[in-house]
């Protein structure tokens, strides 16, 4: 699962994930 992929139990991981998701949505438009 994600836990094994993201071995970073820090808020930064979630932050980067949100940024990546936002970029993906923007690129779709």
Mean pLDDT across 1-29: 78
Q: CA 8 to CA 6: how far, in whole Å?
A: 5
Local structure of 7: helix, strand or coil: coil
Whether pTM exceeds 0.75: no
Instruction: Tell me the mean pLDDT in the region 1-24.
Output: 76
pLDDT at 1: 47
Q: Residues near 13 by Cβ (< 8 Å), separated by ≥ 6?
A: 6
**Cβ atoms of 19 and 12 closer than 8 Å:** no
Element (H, E) at 1: none
Cβ atoms 17, 23 nearer than 8 A: no
């Amino acid at each position: 699962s994600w836990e094994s992929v993201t071995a970073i139990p820090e808020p930064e991981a979630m932050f980067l994930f949100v940024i990546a998701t936002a970029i993906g949505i923007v690129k779709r438009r």
